[in-house]
Amino acid sequence: MKCFLRYLTETVKSSSGKNVHLEHLEDEMINGGFAGFQKAIKALNGVVQALSANSPSTHDITVKWDGAPAIVCGIDPQSGRFFVGTKSVFNVTPKLNFTNKDIDNNHPGDGLNEKLKIALKYLSKLGIAGILQGDLLFDSASKQREIIDNKDYLTFQPNTIKYALDPKSVIAKKMMVAKIGIVFHTAYEGTSIQNVTARFNPDISGLKKIKDVWFDNATFRAVGGKGMFSPEETKTIQVSIVSLTNSAKDIKTLLNAISKNETIKTPIKTYINNLVRKNIPTSHADSNQLVQFMMDKAQIRRKTSSDKNTPSIEWIRTHQNEINKMFALHNALATLKLSIIHKMASMKSEVGTFVKDKNGYRVTTPEGFVAIDRMSNSAIKLVDRLDFSRMNFTLEKDWKK
């Protein structure tokens, strides 16, 4: 059975109404304390319910395309003129580009400059009435025919993942003649660029269909959907969730304290990201190593024997046993998340995904998934952190040149 899973990129509506960076599911307990942990659990529950037979769910599941850079385009509410830009259109001083000269002034770097000029030329032909945000997948220069594992593909690589399609497929034929490809995922409404608010998964059926632009509303076509999780699998996940919740209750006070103290929360998240960068499983996270990590960072910054971060280090030392419990919970939540990701990633798609390592290209899963709570319009990303997040940390993006 064909199931169409709605698709969103790594963004979510902020309190300002714009799209900001999504957090990893397991980090929500660090960001929001016990309430953040509950948000993460609710997301996992929502995903499993959405993909279990005859089970209602308050969540939508989306799949992340690994497009880049982010493109914001449409009609400026104040001037009525068409513009393109990056997320910098939401700066205090917005960088809206109405002409190629504006792009040269705002984005002189070669890679991004060229892509924005292509976007300005072709996206202006779609008849966009409001403002849309999407992720660029390809332009004419980034598409190529390539042999991977002795098979002929149409490929493009906007970021970490290389996308590969059968050149004889309908979708590939449309992409081959297009000058630009983009996935739209967010619409904005407001009387000025400064006060717009976001609306996810907009209806773009009214846009003009022209051969020069391949666009989609980010729908991912896959085999799977309802019934993907059997009753037995669902029950096993629910048992794990109960166990994790009991562990979280045991350190509820600690989680809340960390979430409210930036001088503690930020170093913990930085330490975890540092492990990811070094390809070290987060199961190795340890309070003693955290203290040493913070001391090393403080040593680099300070010029005298005193340091403003010393109270935070002492607080970590005082709560080391509980912090180790937090790291264990963090890893257990990530492990459960990965089991669900791998189940969803088993769905087949007409678009192949590859990543390149020292041995050449290897087949990989989609970058990840996003669980969207329809009631609160909040979202959490589900990503294989040690794989995709590490590569995103280290991979050079050619569009930043």
Q: Per residue in 5-62, pLDDT tens?
A: 332 333 334 444 555 467 899 999 999 999 999 999 999 998 888 888 767 778 777 7
Q: Are 65 and 240 in contact (CB under 8 A)?
A: no
Question: Is it the case that residue 365 has pLDDT exceeding 80?
Answer: no
Question: Is it the case that residue 337 has pLDDT exceeding 80?
Answer: yes
What is the model's pLDDT at position 268? Answer: 97
- For the chain, what are the domain ranges? 2-64+225-400, 70-217
Q: What is the mean pLDDT of residues 375-382?
A: 81
Share of the chain above pLDDT 70, in %: 86
What is the model's pLDDT at position 47? Answer: 87
For the ranges 49-58, 64-73, 216-225, which has the lowest average pLDDT?
216-225
- Cα(357)–Cα(226) distance, rounded to whole angstroms? 34
Mean pLDDT score of the chain = 85
SS3 sequence, 176-245?
Answer: HHCCEEEEEEEEEECCCCCCCEEEECCCCCCCCCCCCEEEECCCEEEECCCCCECHHHHHHHHHHHHHHH
Angle (CA) 147-152-153 rounded to 5° is: 95
Q: What is the mean pLDDT of residues 87-101?
A: 96
- Cα(65)–Cα(62) distance, rounded to whole angstroms? 10
Half-sphere CA count of 61, side-chain side, radius 13 A: 30
What's the whole-model pTM score?
A: 0.77
Closest CA to 48 of 330, 334, 347, 340: 340
Question: Is it the case that residue 125 has pLDDT exceeding 80?
Answer: yes
Q: Which band of pLDDT confidence, cut at 50, 70 and 90, is reported for residue 256? A: very high
Q: Which band of pLDDT confidence, cut at 50, 70 and 90, is reported for residue 225? A: low
Q: Tokens representing 382?
A: 């589900």
What is the model's pLDDT at position 392? Answer: 57
